[in-house]
Amino acid sequence: MARVMIVGAGGVGRVVAHKCAAQPEFSDILLASRTLAKCNQIAKDINSPKITTAALDADVVSNTVKLIQEFRPEILINVALPYQDLALMDACLETKVNYLDTANYEPPDVAKFEYSWQWAYQERFKNAGITAILGCGFDPGMTGIYTAYAFKHYFDEIHYLDIIDCNAGSHGQAFATNFNPEINIREITQNGRYYENGQWVEVPALSVHRPIDYPEIGFRESYLLYHEELESLVKNFPTIKRARFWMTFSENYITHLRVLEAVGMTRIDPVNYEGTQVIPLKFLKAVLPEPSSLAENYTGQTSIGCHIRGLKDGKELQYYIYNNCDHAASYKEVGSQAISYTTGVPAVVGALMLVQGLWKKPGVFNVEEFDPDPFMELVAKLGLPWHEVINGDSPFEA
């Protein structure tokens, strides 16, 4: 039996709290976040004697250290924002508590996605004898575990990796993002980037796109984006010749985004508004719907997976592995939409791997560096079953 501390009471935090409460391995759960009322609402909805709540500004390391010392968790699950990653890792180091997150650190003042800041904690975590599991949501997360599973069971060498992410759901709003709007818009308005023959190739934002056929959904226009798991996957699978990430957006979404960008509403530098410094993207976040509020009327499915090509016994092999998740079913189960659900379930499974000692080794690791088998078995049981297609049609050229 283990004690788990969850930081962040947004869409993903709700799923993580629900799923942790249902696991006999967790005896006590502390849900801590900036706004106590949000923690209390989630705790009320779950109605489990295991859960307590606390207010926490996780940007201040000493606040988190104090709470950890009082609660004494075995693991801290960080589902606040990427800005808090380093402060929470510092607090875990100080208290010798294991750490897990679902998104890599981003500095608030520059939209930059890379693992360097968190990988720099490797020696300190190792010396402290604690584990940090980085990027354990769906993408990053399941996509890295799918790749590790494919490598373990099907390939001698992986050559081509295309991660495809489709949200074919409908929430009925004119414009909304499925996870934190600030983080989401920073990610999408960046230049696209992919890996080819040892180099990173940069393309203008949303300039490369193609229709991709998704299971049970059909063709959807999919845009090449940079996504953080590409960085760790090409490092951990050095035979990869090309790695790309594709995500679907509707015409309507792209049109709104282009207008918001053109008028300056996606800027992350401060603007003087009547004597007050305002960051336009933060203001935009304040007027957009909260991702968690989309859940109630969301219909349709997500479909996320990996198309992989490579060699087995000298022969070409093509492999596709994916999960489809239904928004309405997620809402019925835990009160969240499928984007939060597909992020929260792997985070809980990662925490279970750690407390069961299966994914426990001192240092800082991306998910593909652990044994994928026990994770894959459990994640299917906890709500994210997966499907494989071997040597089927691929939308991607070699």
**What residues line the site for ligand NDP (CB under 6 A)?**
7-13, 33-35, 38, 56-59, 79-82, 84, 102-103, 137-141, 179-180, 183, 291-292, 339-340, 343
Query: In this complex, which beta carbon is closest to ligand NDP, that of residue 121 or of residue 179?
Result: 179
Number of Cβ within a 10 Å radius of residue 108: 14
Of residues 306, 336, 383, 364, the one with CA closest to residue 123: 364
Residue nearest to ligand NDP (CB): 10
Question: Smallest distance, Å, CB 238 to ligand NDP?
Answer: 23
Query: In this complex, which beta carbon is closest to ligand NDP, that of residue 74 or of residue 187?
Result: 187
Question: Smallest distance, Å, CB 197 to ligand NDP?
Answer: 27
Query: In this complex, which beta carbon is closest to ligand NDP, that of residue 317 or of residue 368?
Result: 368
Question: Smallest distance, Å, CB 311 to ligand NDP?
Answer: 29
Number of Cβ within a 10 Å radius of residue 275: 5
Query: In this complex, which beta carbon is closest to ligand NDP, that of residue 44 or of residue 312?
Result: 44
Query: In this complex, which beta carbon is closest to ligand NDP, that of residue 317 or of residue 353?
Result: 353
Question: Smallest distance, Å, CB 369 to ligand NDP?
Answer: 16
Q: How far apart are the first and last CA of the chain?
A: 48
Q: Are 46 and 325 in contact (CB under 8 A)?
A: no
Question: Smallest distance, Å, CB 366 to ligand NDP?
Answer: 12
Question: Smallest distance, Å, CB 119 to ligand NDP?
Answer: 17
Query: In this complex, which beta carbon is closest to ligand NDP, that of residue 13 or of residue 363?
Result: 13
Question: Smallest distance, Å, CB 36 to ligand NDP?
Answer: 9
d(CA 190, CA 245): 13
Question: Smallest distance, Å, CB 335 to ligand NDP?
Answer: 13
Query: In this complex, which beta carbon is closest to ligand NDP, that of residue 130 or of residue 347?
Result: 347
Question: Smallest distance, Å, CB 103 to ligand NDP?
Answer: 4
d(CA 294, CA 307): 30
Query: In this complex, which beta carbon is closest to ligand NDP, that of residue 179 or of residue 246?
Result: 179
Query: In this complex, which beta carbon is closest to ligand NDP, that of residue 56 or of residue 281?
Result: 56
